[in-house]
Amino acid sequence: MNNYLKINNLSYSYPDGHKALSSVSFSIDQGESISILGPNGAGKTTLILHLNGILGKLSGEIEVSGLKYIPDNIDKIRKTVGVVFQDPDDQLFMPTVIEDVMFGPKNFGFTQKEAEENSLEALKMVGMEKFEDRAPHHLSFGQKRKVAIATVLASKPKLLVLDEPASNLDPTSRKDLIDILKSLNISLILVTHDLPMALEICERSLVLNEGEIKKDDLTINILKDEKFMKKNRLELPYGFAFHHLGEE
């Protein structure tokens, strides 16, 4: 496999001087799913905003699908790297579900027919094909989350990045989401506090803390290292047992 995404020595400080990322380097292969774990304030959201070119000027290098992060490539990169934000209401603003899902592909230069076909396919992928004419604000939170994912999938990205997709979901909606993400034939970066979800979807995880990568290993190895977990303020749910997922 070839590295689909390469990040080399990425650092970032906010205007107030807060250093959010410090010399972050990693790569992922096409089709690989990884999770990014870490406590609040670790730099996780700052990292994924860079993957879509949202924070502008880089200190370090990012390359995706052979495209370097320079101004001339940002539109192509935003088409190939789809980011699903933590709050679905940040991505749903049109009168109907289908209009919301079509918004991305239309802006990325797909024809009206392509945008419609892509959007109907994306809604089907997330089990929301019967809701195309519904007003987004009439949907449940879990339904909004699915539609938000569909708005990104409709532009046919090669890499899907999700920021805390399990937050505020009831157990059934969470299980639906896991099934959806496992069914996608796409590279995936999952930023989450939901450690069992990370274990179920992503064989490999990075732990980010204080703006630095503290560990890059198999998810199972990270979660079983109690001393490391405690040091990096990571905690499995009470009563969690690895044998639930076939691990002894």
pLDDT of residue 145: 93
Query: Does the reported pTM lie above 0.85?
Result: yes
Q: What CATH number has the domain bearing residue 196? A: 3.40.50.300
Domain count of the fold of the chain: 1
- What is the rounded CA–CA span in Å between residue 132 and residue 196? 32
- What is the rounded CA–CA span in Å between residue 204 and residue 33? 7
Instruction: Give the helix/strand (H/E) hosting 113.
Output: helix 112-125
pLDDT of residue 230: 95
pLDDT digits (tens, 9 = 90+) for 165-201: 998 899 999 999 999 999 998 899 999 999 999 999 9
The pair of three-digit structure tokens given for residue 98, joined into one six-digit string: 């289908």
- What is the rounded CA–CA span in Å between residue 25 and residue 12? 13
- Domain housing 193: 3-245
Contacts of 209 (CB under 8 A, 6+ apart): 38, 39, 42, 232, 233
∠ CA 17-22-52, nearest 5°, is 90
pLDDT tier, 224 (very low <50, low <70, confident <90, very high otherwise) = very high
